[in-house]
Chain A
Amino acid sequence: GQQLNQSPQSMFIQEGEDVSMNCTSSSIFNTWLWYKQEPGEGPVLLIALYKAGELTSNGRLTAQFGITRKDSFLNISASIPSDVGIYFCAGTYFGNEKLTFGTGTRLTIIP
């Protein structure tokens, strides 16, 4: 089946630093989504991408849909303590409503 590989698996950064994580697929996706999950909660949608090359921002978050349709990245600028959590990429491919989830990136911020 489809697999999404996310990297890095975990990050330890200092408050104020920028963060970058990415997601790659062995197959083409037509939608890329980025979610954040906090402990004991369901994922919350951060950004949705629909076109190859699309670059979309949501506050300090910026995500891009790769030209090849097989990758996406998420950047967080000037990290703050509330950015802590697990970030998941997810995608759908043509004709399929199901979301395929990435392996997740756990972000920890050091004060």
Chain B
Amino acid sequence: GAVVSQHPSWVICKSGTSVKIECRSLDFQATTMFWYRQFPKQSLMLMATSNEGSKATYEQGVEKDKFLINHASLTLSTLTVTSAHPEDSSFYICSARGLLDGTNTEAFFGQGTRLTVV
């Protein structure tokens, strides 16, 4: 149980275009989803927290207009990188926690998305 699926696993896009990354909880209701960014050989940096049906809460220094987060259902959250630039190239990872068999889960992570902006 507690499977989180992220798609795509990698994407290459041209500078100035937008990219959408999906995060799905496959077998539980994800009341809260988190989006992280990870630079090479570094730890995970939390970008934002989203609760189903509510606006995302962004961490300090993260541009909410650039990284659009939507958590429209209990199984899906999306991160859209708008007007992407090469410096946005990174590994983006989502995680989700919620209810599985009536029990609150810890955070389970997706497989990550490698974004390369050229």
Contact = CB atoms under 8 A, between A and B. Distances in A.
A42 B6 contact: yes
A40 B40 CA distance: 10
Q: Classify chain B: how many residues form its interface, as a range.
A: 20 to 34
B109 interface: yes
B106 A42 contact: no
Nearest to B94: A42
B32 A45 contact: no
Interface string B34-52: 1000000011101001000
Interface residues of A, number: 19
B97 interface: yes
A45 B112 CA distance: 15
Contact of B112 (A31, A35, A41, A104): A41
Given A33-B106, A45-B106, A97-B49, A88 B43 contact: yes
Contacts of A97: 32, 49, 97
Contacts of B21: none
A7 B19 CA distance: 36
B51 to A, nearest CB: 9
A42 B36 CA distance: 10
B44 A88 contact: yes
Nearest to B10: A40
Contacts of B108: 45
A66 interface: no
A6 to B, nearest CB: 9
Interface of A: 31, 33, 35, 40-45, 48, 88, 90, 97-99, 101-104
